[in-house]
Structures are given as structure tokens and as C-alpha cells.
Amino acid sequence: MFDPGQEMLSAEIGEDSNGINLMEFSDEILLHILSYVPCTDLVLNVRRTCRKLATLCLDKSLTHTVLLHKEYQVNKDKVKQLMRGIGKEIHQLNMAGCYWLPSSTIDYVIRCKNLVKLNLSGCHLTSLRLSKMLSALQHLRSLAIDVNPGFDASQLSSECKATLSRVLELKQTLYTPSYGVVPCCTSLEKLLLYFEILDRSREGFILSGQLMVGESNVPHYQNLRVFYARLAPGYVNQEVVRLYLAVLSDRTPENLHAFLISAPGSFAESGTTKNLLDSMARNVCLDALQLPKSWINGSGLLQHLKFNNPFYFSFSRCTLSGGHLILRVINGGKDLKSLTSLNLSGCIHCLSSDSLFRKAEDDIDSSILESLVVSCCNLRHLNLSAAHHHSSESLGKHLCQLLARLRHLLSLALPVCSITDVPTNTDKLPVQSVTNVVPPGLGKKIRIGVPTYAKNFLEQSNQKSQSSVFWTLLENLPFLKNLELIGSSFSSAMPRNEPAIRNSLPPCSRAQSVGDSEVAAIGQLNFLQNLTLAQMPNILTGSGLVSIGLQCQHLRTLSLANLGMMGKVVYMSALMDMLKHCKCLRDLRLEQPYFSANTQFFQALSHCSSLQRLCIISRSGTLQSDAVMSFMANCLEVIMCHMFMGESLTVCKNLQQSIVRSFQADRPALNVIIFPLLHEDLTEVIRDVPMMHLDEITLFKSRVAEEPPNLWW
């Protein structure tokens, strides 16, 4: 169980220079400390050091829930030892995203006889292995799995189906048209469906959304409380989700309180879905709602739906006007203190009283936003991105000043043009912004490695920003963890299932006033963990990034896209200075034309000792292969390296093979893709990326209020 010879060593380690021995702390304090240690380390290493830790490491508070999600060093053998050691004590097991583990690893889960919750999303799983495993897990009530091509429900045993009949929560990611295990789950209360079915097979055959004969009307929704469906682009996904919804339209569950469908692009309303919505309006009272934009636009649906104590609304991409928002959703200023998450991304008219004669760039109606802020005073997550929310000259009515009242905000997404101070003459741009608008490719050349900003520029930026409305906003949101500033017309060069975009729309004219001083203001967010900055044309030196690196010591995810002029990377020196201070940074995504991933950049990036995932997307970008190899050798935690640049296919393939050959053995989860951004086979390469990486970092999107909070554990 433990090595007695380690007793003296552990005592010496536990005692510091002041004579304080860690082992003299109370069990409660030690258990709290041990709760931050990965379970695999507790069971396989820490508990072998001494008798006291051997006992504490097996405490129920530490073994009840085991999280292997993003434990990238876990391999099949460690899972085997873990299950042998504490399998019977585990009640909740999260292996989501463990794509590198062979399917045979799932066999060891059978030892966890008392499992109540199990998450295997992203794991390799066959129908037969699923059947064998679930047959032994009689206490299971919550399950998350993937349904891949080749899944056959007829291979599920009667014992497996008996377990599924008791499951109350199911999360199912579909890569092939199928009902999966839904027909077997007769007691479902929560159903989450992720549709990731491609329209064409690898061989180029067009897929059909029709399900197998005998699977047409078998889902059981009578106890359903939560229905959630997220669709990737493609008509097959739409066809399949309609079949899931058909049963709902026949008989809407009386206890349904959350109905959410997230669908990109156009998803036309059908007779079946119209009947479903009519039935919901008559029979249910909702707490969470999200519908495709075409189901809401131009309809009177919202005025007929009934809400109880709503906690989540998403009207993303809808043409809903502010007048309708206040009248039909907030009910004329009704108290909505229960609402904690609101997604109005892409709702270009949601802050204006009427959308009929309004242009998207016109000023917002501050009274609409003020009513929203007053009614929804407990908002934690708010997304107003992908729209032009321009404030007028009304004193104290700027969007930033009104949002500053939402003191509980933890996540905020705004368009860049919304944070600019209102100019005294709205017919003219500020002088600074006019002089800084330089055609792409022109301007003074920048020497790589030499700071391009004065030493006192950072202090000057801070002094300027402290008088801005954006500074005031952030000053009143000290606990903000997630911040996104995204240009209202920004589109990533790497969309889903399509060739790379070569041209992007120009930024909003008001965004020309947002520059380094506004970025520097973000540095006051001491608890910031995730930051996205995209399409900020007035970035001159990037000096504000240094302020963020110095002061935001909890920063874990950083995404930068199209900052400054598009013809060159003006912020490279500041970015390298920033990275030297980002000790907690785990994910870095850079999207910038003409980016040079050279030796100096990777030397600076090597200071990010916690970095795990790197994604660089750059049209006409270059890389130095030896610098990449040196970086991978120095940063031992990096398990994902995606680089889509302007290099030739030969250069990319050679580098990718070198990285895999050199580091795969020591990093079982290593996922490497080096590929030309504008190559015609890009979409084929993208489809092989593990969904966890693709969804969280490789593809650009706004993530604030994307889903209801705590949708899944």
C-alpha cells in the first residue's frame, strides 16, 4: 500500500525551514489541500508516501468524484490501476475528451459498480463495449456518450437496456444519423443532443438524414424536463433533429421547463415544429428558452409562451427589436431577478425601440438597455456581440455606464464599437483614429525583437484609459472572469465545413477609436481567466497586452485575432513581453495575417510553463521548423499544436511528422496539425480534429452565454 522507507523522507519534505510540518495540519486542512491534486496522482503516488496520506487519499470526499477530463498524461495502465484501487468508491466519473485512450480502456469502468454519473463523451466506444459496461452499472442515472458510424442498438443486451431505462440524464453526441440509446431511456428527465453529422462521407457520398427502419417513434419524453439540441452546420443535422422533435410535437411533456435548440444559419420552421411550439404555448411554463432565429423572426410566439422563473434566454441572431424584448420577454419591466444568463449575440436591433426603419449602425435606445439592466439585475453572463451597439451623447446613458450597474457579471461579450467614448461631434471620427487608419501593407517597417513602444507608453495608456467609460465599466466589474471584445463584422478565416475565408468585412468606423489604452484597461481585472480580442484596427503597438500579462495572473485562455493593421503584425514585441508573464496560460489562439512564428516568438512563448494548447491561423504566415521543435521540447505540457499558415504542404507535413515522431511516446494525448490555410483539403483535415479541441479553441466563436450555466456537470 505504501513504502515504509518513505516515512522519514515524507517527514523531511513536509517540514520547512521554520520547523512547520505539513503532516501536523488537521485532516480537514490536508483534505482541502489534497482536493487540488489529480485523483490519479493521489491514488498512484501520494498515498504511497506515508501512513497518514495513505488513509487521507482514500477519503470519500476525494474518491467520490474522479475527473480525468483534460488529464492529458493519463494512459490505459493508469486508468487500470486507478479502477483497481478505488473503483468501488467512485460515484461520478468524468472521462470526457479522453480521445487518446484505446476503446479497451472502457472495460475497466465495469469495476465502478456504484457509479451514478458517467461521462464518456469523446471516448472511443463500440456498441458491444457499451452493452457490457452498462450491464454492470445498475445504479447509473446520468450518462454521456458518442454515437459513431457503426453503432448498432440491436447489440445492446437486456441488462444494458434495463440500466438505460433507469437513466434520468443523457447527453448524446451524434456523428451518424441514429437515435442512439434514446429509445432505451424510458425515464429521461434531461436530454442533451449534439448533432455533428457531416453531409458527406469521407468517400464523398451524400449522407441521408433518414433513420433506420424501426426507429421512427420510440423516444420516450413523457418525463422530460430539459431538452437541448445543438446543431453543427449541415442539412443532415436538421433532418435528424426534426425526427427527434416529431415525438415531442405529438405529446408535449407537462414538466418541460427548458427547451433549447441552437442551430446555425437557416433552419426553417415546419408543420411539426409549429405544432410543437403551439403545444408548448398552451401547456408548459418555461425557465430556459433558445430557438432558431427563423422560428422567432416575424412570429408572435414570444407573447404566447409562458415563463416561470427564467434563468436563461438566448435570442442569438434574431431580428427581435428592443420594444418586443421589453414587452414580450421582460413584460414591460417585470422583475426578472432569476435571469442569470442572456445571449443577444447578433441581435442587431435588440437595443432599439423599433427595427422597421432603423439602420444597424444607428444609436441604441438607452432606455431599452436601462430597463433590461434594472429588471435583470442578477445577470452573471451577458452576450451583446456581433452587432453595432452605438451609444448616443446622452449624459450617463452610455452602454458601458449602464452595464456597470450589473455588479454580479462574471462573463461579458461586447462589440468593439460599443466601448468607445462618444465623440463630441458624431459626424467626424476622432483625430487620432483618422490619422491611424493606414492602408494595409503601408507604414514604417518594424524590426523584429526590438520594442516598438516607448517605456512610458504603458503608463500613458493607463492614464488615458482611466477617464474612459470602458475603464469605468471594468472598474465596477472586479470579479469578471470572461471577457470578449469582438469586432461587429469580424469573421474567422477558418469557418466550419467550408474553405478558408480570404477576405473579411471592414471594421466599424467607431471601432477605429478603440486602441491600446482600452486594452490596457483590461489589466485591472485581477480575476480574469479567459480573454478574446478580435478586429481592433487601432492597435498601434499592443502595449496594453503587457498590462494584461503583468496584472491578470489568473489568465488561462487568450485568443487574439486581427489586431491592428492587416498588412503586418504591429503588436509582436508587446505580445512577446506579455507572454513572459503568463504563467497560468493554458490555451493560446492567434489569428493574424502575415504572422511570423519565429524563434523570438517561441522563446517568449516558452515562458508559459502551463501552456497545453496552441493554435495559430495566419494567411501568408510563416514558421521556423527548428523553433517549433525547440518549443515543443521545452514546453512539456503542450499536447495540442495546430498551425494553419502560408507554408507549403511539404514543409507542413515534414514538421508535423517530426513533432509526432519526437514527442508522441511521452505525450499520449498529443494532437498535431500543421497545414496550409488555403489548401483545398483543409476541411478534410479539420474533420479529424478531436471535437474537444475543435470546439474549444481551433474554431473561433463567442462562448459567453453560449449555453445555460451548469447544463452538464
Strands (E), 207-363: 226-231, 258-262, 285-290, 306-314, 341-343
User: Which residue numbers in the chain have pLDDT < 50?
Assistant: 1-2, 4-13, 213-214, 216-217, 424-450
Task: Supply the pLDDT for residue 357.
Answer: 65
Do the Cβ atoms of 344 and 350 come closer than 8 Å? Answer: yes
Task: Supply the pLDDT for residue 13.
Answer: 47
Please, where are the H alpha helices in 530-587? 543-551, 572-579
Task: Supply the pLDDT for residue 68.
Answer: 96
Q: What is the pTM of this model?
A: 0.91
Angle value at C-alpha 547, between 546 and 550, nearest 5 degrees? 85
Half-sphere exposure (CA, 13 Å, Cβ side) for 108? 21
- Cα–Cα distance for residue pair 598/569, rounded to 1 Å: 13
Do the Cβ atoms of 592 and 618 come closer than 8 Å? Answer: yes
Do the Cβ atoms of 353 and 363 come closer than 8 Å? Answer: no
- Cα–Cα distance for residue pair 462/651, rounded to 1 Å: 43
Angle value at C-alpha 375, between 371 and 379, nearest 5 degrees? 115
Task: Supply the pLDDT for residue 433.
Answer: 38
Task: Supply the pLDDT for residue 361.
Answer: 80
